[in-house]
Amino acid sequence: MNARHIDERPENAEAPETTHAEYGAGNPRLRITRDGERTEFPLVADEVRIGSAEGNELRLADTDPLHATVTHDDRDEYVLALHGEGEMNSNPGADATHPGEATETLRTGSRFTVGRWTLVFARDEFADHGRPAGGRLGGEYSDQPLQPPRPDYSADAHSDSAADT
């Protein structure tokens, strides 16, 4: 982060909330469309393989056998890795993204394509780490109040996912 933050607020200012929700909170999901078809796919596994191969968590016709992967990491982020042809709407070199040319940290509204399918990531704003200080109402651009440090999700990361399977 750059050095510009709103660190000093008047004493009567409300303290902003954070986006540090429980691990996996916020109903993370992919909204999927193609040729008038629409569906949602909940992201409940720590890794979701997307493609046409049998055994993938999300099978989509007319795609590579393994076209993309969405990984829920130990920082409670959802990370896209495109293995086949597709478009992303973010710059992989931007701050707070994971390294790699075809990789991005997903935020609510992040859009990518897999074959002729369009997928959009959604997560309730209170849990989407890309919106600090309780969402848009907490500030924008250079006027972001500092949040408390991110919790250690490592203890929760695999216990919650294991209970879902």
pLDDT of residue 20: 64
Q: Kindly tell me if the per-residue pLDDT of 54 is higher than 90.
A: yes
Which of the 8 DSSP states describes residue 159? H
Instruction: Provide the percentage of residues in the chain whose pLDDT is more than 70.
Output: 61
Is 19 within 8 Å of 134 (Cβ atoms)? yes
Contacts of residue 94, defined as CB under 8 A and 6 or more positions apart, other chains included, come to none
110 to 17, 47, 54, 102: CA distances (angstroms)? 23, 18, 26, 14
Distance CA 78, CA 28 (A): 9
For residue 32, the SS3 value is strand
Contacts of residue 107, defined as CB under 8 A and 6 or more positions apart, other chains included, come to 90, 121, 123, 128, 129, 130, 131
Distance CA 142, CA 138 (A): 12
Please state whether beta strands 58-59 and 47-51 pair in parallel, antiparallel, or not at all (unpaired). parallel
Distance CA 123, CA 144 (A): 20
Q: What is the pLDDT of residues 108-121, one digit of tens each?
A: 889 999 999 999 99
pTM comes to 0.69
pLDDT (average), residues 34-53: 96
What is the pLDDT of the chain when averaged over all its residues? 77
Q: Kindly tell me if the per-residue pLDDT of 151 is higher than 90.
A: no
